[in-house]
Structure 1
Amino acid sequence: MAALMRSVTSTVKAARRHSPSSVEELELELLLEALYQCHGYDFRGYDHALVARKVQALRLRLGLATISALQSRVLHDDETYNTLLRALYVSPALMFDDPLEVSMLRLSLGVSLHGAALPRVWLADCASPQQAWTLAILLEQEQLAPRTEIYATVASDTMLADAQHASLPMARLDELQANYVRSGGVGKLVDYFDVDADGLHAALKPELASRITWAQYNLVTDASFNEFQMILGQRTLPDFGLALRKRVLQLFDDSLAPFGMLALDRPLDDHDPLSRHYKPIMAGQPWYKRVA
């Protein structure tokens, strides 16, 4: 009997003992919970595998042994907290880095914006200042810039400050000229920028920058804040888990004007009730016009 009890006890203890992967899962859950409880940013509904990869990459980059060590740093050091937030955020975009996206924008801008008196475009979880600059330049080329407002939202006040004061080294602007040409751009990209006196940095021309309204906004928790003629969400949606994705798609639906344009990362599910509100503007592309 004693031998049996020892065997049962040993089995129970073994069942309670976490494997290394289970420990890391628990650490990740605690890190995300701490980020939510202490700072209000909720990544718990994001794609779990993607979040885990980003957290582990940051842990290694910072030279930390465990996710728990990263959590301690996040809770007690603002710089580490902001570094984690940037790491978990949507991957940064470069100007004109996706020729297909630029082509779809050129096609969609006139269709969705020309009929509105004061059209608004929402860059939800804007991937970088350069994503907003790309849109501003395209609007200028379509002669829509003077009356169109771009709303570019980001997750934190730190990201907001970075975006509002962003500029480019001239060497990088020269490199981005190749992106511009590949996406169908004509002329020189530098024509849309002011170069500082020492010739080392460039900033978007004030008349274009003034059409971009930057704001801190949380897609996970905040409600609809305006009505838009176009919503661009294709960069951020891949990071979301199924439940959060459904929530954000409903938010976009609540925010899109009749006959407005919605850009997604993949086609709407035919079984999704929202799909009846939309019609694709081109076969095979997840860009939609609202029809109901």
Structure 2
Amino acid sequence: MAALMPSLLASSVEELELELLLQALYQCHGYDFRGYDRAMVAGKVQALRLRLGLATISALQSRVLHDGETYNTLLRALYVAPALMFDDPLEVSMLRRSLGVSLHGAALPRVWLADCASPQQAWTLAILLEQEQLAPRTEIYATVASDTMLADAQHASLPMARLDELQANYARSGGVGKLIDYFDIDADGLHATLKPQLAGRITWAQYNLVTDASFNEFQMILGQRALPDFGPALRKRVLQLFDGSLAPFGTLALDRPLDDHDPLSRHYKPLLANQSWYKRVA
């Protein structure tokens, strides 16, 4: 039993250090990760600590409080895992199925990418809308947690060195033709940018799912990449936010099926059996 005491003590100290780090982020910068799944947060924090060569979470906290670059690095580490274009064939398949059903009936449809996983996730949606002949009248709202992430997204480009990988993703998800046809290659030949008529349909904004209120009504909300990070209370709050932001007969994409005992479940009907994509019916 005595041999277990040092490891138990180390564990409790690390838990205290993590709590203090999250409190510091909230008190000093206003970003509240305290309601996120704690095991997920701990794993991301420890991975960053090791990557930076720091001995303790307390050392990481000191760097975060006194060094802006480390602070932004931590925010990125705690955020939704970055996505590549067309990296999830099931997600793309569900988008192809639901875009027409959800958006064709609206005069000026709006889609919300909540906690957008990367510019490439937004580009994927813009290309699918173009293929469904919905791009000219559909507005994509892609929100991210911080001003730094917002600036990164607004100035992002496609690295040509990864084109073969992304083309393979595109083909695997059912794409026809060449992915590069939707981009303009820069003069250096090393990067490409989304064609202006598609990029112009994406509105990027800083938005905090934890604290901010509903800001518009949407015909489709895609939140499946953000939700796995949330603890039960925060997840409930965000689902209520989505529910209050979704138009009648709109589509809501989640990471897992709604609990039958959740009061919100009566508002929704699955688009397909065994999938967590829903159509609002009430």
Q: TM-score range by the shorter chain?
A: over 0.9
Matches of 2:231 and 2:142 in 1, distance apart? 23
TM-superposition CA deviations, 1:19-63 (whole Å, max 9, x none): xx0000000000000000000000000000000000000000000
Inter-CA distance 73–270: structure 2 relative to 1 (3 Å threshold): same
TM-score with structure 2 length normalisation? 0.96
Aligned length: 277
2:266 counterpart of 1:276: yes
Alpha-carbon shift at residue 174 of structure 1 (Å): 2.4
Q: Give the match's secondary structure for 1:92.
A: coil
Matches of 1:84 and 1:198 in 2, distance apart? 32
Inter-CA distance 105–4: structure 2 relative to 1 (3 Å threshold): closer
TM-superposition CA deviations, 1:84-121 (whole Å, max 9, x none): 00000000000000000000000000000000000000
Alpha-carbon shift at residue 175 of structure 1 (Å): 1.6
Matches of 1:247 and 1:130 in 2, distance apart? 27
Aligned runs of 1:181-196 on 2, under 5 Å?
Answer: 181-196=171-186
Aligned runs of 1:1-292 on 2, under 5 Å?
Answer: 21-292=11-282
Alpha-carbon shift at residue 2 of structure 1 (Å): 24
TM-score with structure 1 length normalisation? 0.93
TM-superposition CA deviations, 1:105-161 (whole Å, max 9, x none): 000000000000000000000000000000000000000000000000000000000
Matches of 2:4 and 2:45 in 1, distance apart? 44
Matches of 1:274 and 1:181 in 2, distance apart? 36
Matches of 1:210 and 1:239 in 2, distance apart? 30
Alpha-carbon shift at residue 81 of structure 1 (Å): 0.1
Inter-CA distance 118–3: structure 2 relative to 1 (3 Å threshold): closer
Matches of 1:106 and 1:189 in 2, distance apart? 16
Matches of 1:3 and 1:116 in 2, distance apart? 66
Matches of 1:279 and 1:65 in 2, distance apart? 49
Inter-CA distance 4–257: structure 2 relative to 1 (3 Å threshold): closer
Alpha-carbon shift at residue 4 of structure 1 (Å): 25
Inter-CA distance 259–79: structure 2 relative to 1 (3 Å threshold): same
Alpha-carbon shift at residue 254 of structure 1 (Å): 0.3
Larger Rg: 1
Alpha-carbon shift at residue 198 of structure 1 (Å): 2.3
Question: Alpha carbon RMSD of aligned pairs, Å?
Answer: 3.2
TM-superposition CA deviations, 1:176-199 (whole Å, max 9, x none): 000000000000000000001121
Question: Where do 5+ consecutive residues of structure 2 fail to align?
Answer: 6-10
Moved over 3 A (4+): 1-5
TM-superposition CA deviations, 1:247-279 (whole Å, max 9, x none): 000000000000000000000000000000000
Inter-CA distance 290–58: structure 2 relative to 1 (3 Å threshold): same
Question: Where do 5+ consecutive residues of structure 1 fail to align?
Answer: 6-20
Matches of 1:66 and 1:259 in 2, distance apart? 50
% identity of equivalent residues: 92
TM-superposition CA deviations, 1:212-259 (whole Å, max 9, x none): 000000000000000000000000000000000000000000000000
Inter-CA distance 22–109: structure 2 relative to 1 (3 Å threshold): same
Inter-CA distance 236–4: structure 2 relative to 1 (3 Å threshold): closer
Inter-CA distance 72–143: structure 2 relative to 1 (3 Å threshold): same
Matches of 1:4 and 1:251 in 2, distance apart? 44
Alpha-carbon shift at residue 211 of structure 1 (Å): 0.2
Q: Give the match's secondary structure for 2:112.
A: strand
Q: Give the match's secondary structure for 2:3.
A: helix
Matches of 2:149 and 2:65 in 1, distance apart? 19
